[in-house]
């Protein structure tokens, strides 16, 4: 560092050290120590903040044509970044299966324990969720957040749920998709469905809203839609540096697509969509959205395209904006 070196030269000149000096001057040793410490600090600061990703329905943690490819793009954009891609099964088939069938709460508990046990994440991380992975990572922030999330980026997450059975991506297992649709069509709030169908656990019907609030086992809770509010959810969410919500404006999978930015059908029908800032979850600040927004920490982005249809360039731009230190 120029300033440190010039100070060292000045110090040496001032004390007129000769070749006969028995050892290095004390002040010179001090400055060398400072330089070494500063260099160590720079190295630490230069390390990118780790990234945790959670895949969507019909996908897996490491599918080479989807999330695996996205991980490589992020690693190329941000060299030396540590990326942890969440898997909720012991193998690819089990990971995909768990995106359709299981209990979101149980899966989340396991993920919280896994992330807390990873020493590379101990100082916090950024989080990027794709489709239903978006609301699952928000649930992580609200319920766990140890280690803490810095920036939460949601690509097409259904934060106000879905009001119709979602169709599956073409890369998904067709048989699993059919089984999911058949099960969900029986009734999302029935005990035999709600406890085993992941999609039922964020199914939010505007014409059965009271049943949803009473019987839904996941989304109604993390949205604090019940009379008894969990203050920890709000406290944790407002700790984010940024909450980035990316909506796909031609989305044919998520109904309504505005759910990707906390919009939802008005109770009683499927016509009028209530935007986030007019909804009770915002106006009464049930989970901290209003406080985040007031602080300038809510970032809303739009992509012209169907569900999760974005370019490599767009992903790189998001990564450079929110994933670099």
Q: Which residues are catalytic?
A: 131, 251, 307
3-class DSSP state for residue 291? helix
Q: How far apart are CA 231 and CA 246, in angstroms?
A: 26
Non-local (6+) Cβ contacts of 202 within 8 A are 104, 132, 135, 158, 161, 162, 216, 218, 219
Q: How far apart are CA 190 and CA 150, in angstroms?
A: 37
Residue 82's alpha-carbon distances to 12, 46, 74, in angstroms, are 44, 13, 10
Structure tokens at 308: 């999760």
Structure tokens at 189: 């709030």
Structure tokens at 57: 């329905």
Exposed, middle or buried: residue 45 (CB in 10 Å: 0-12, 13-18, 19+)? Answer: exposed
């Amino acid at each position: 560092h120029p300033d440190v070196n010039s100070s060292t030269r000045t110090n040496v000149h001032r004390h007129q050290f000769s070749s006969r000096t028995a050892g290095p001057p004390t002040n010179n040793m001090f400055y060398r120590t400072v330089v070494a410490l500063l260099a160590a600090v720079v190295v630490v600061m230069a390390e990118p903040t780790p990234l945790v990703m959670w895949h969507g329905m019909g996908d897996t943690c490491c599918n080479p044509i989807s999330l695996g490819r996205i991980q490589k793009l992020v690693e190329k954009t941000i060299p030396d970044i540590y990326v942890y891609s969440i898997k909720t099964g012991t193998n690819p088939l089990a990971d995909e299966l768990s995106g359709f069938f299981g209990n979101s709460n149980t899966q989340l508990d396991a993920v919280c324990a896994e992330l807390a046990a990873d020493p590379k994440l101990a100082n916090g991380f950024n989080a990027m969720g794709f489709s239903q992975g978006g609301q699952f990572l928000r649930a992580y922030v609200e319920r766990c957040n140890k280690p803490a999330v810095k920036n939460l980026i949601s690509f097409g997450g259904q934060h106000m749920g879905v009001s119709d059975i979602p169709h599956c991506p073409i890369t998904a297992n067709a048989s699993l998709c059919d089984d999911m649709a058949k099960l969900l069509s029986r009734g999302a709030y029935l005990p035999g469905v709600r406890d085993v169908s992941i999609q039922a656990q964020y199914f939010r019907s505007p014409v059965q809203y009271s049943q949803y609030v009473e019987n839904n086992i996941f989304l109604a809770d993390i949205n604090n839609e019940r009379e008894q509010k969990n203050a920890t959810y709000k406290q944790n969410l407002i700790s984010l540096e940024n909450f980035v919500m990316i909506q796909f404006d031609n989305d044919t999978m998520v109904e309504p697509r505005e759910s990707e930015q906390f919009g939802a059908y008005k109770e009683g029908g499927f016509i009028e969509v209530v935007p986030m800032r007019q909804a009770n979850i915002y106006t009464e600040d049930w989970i901290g959205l209003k406080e985040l927004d007031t602080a300038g920490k809510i970032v809303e982005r739009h992509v012209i395209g169907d569900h999760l249809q974005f370019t490599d360039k767009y992903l790189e731009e998001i990564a450079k904006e929110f994933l670099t230190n």
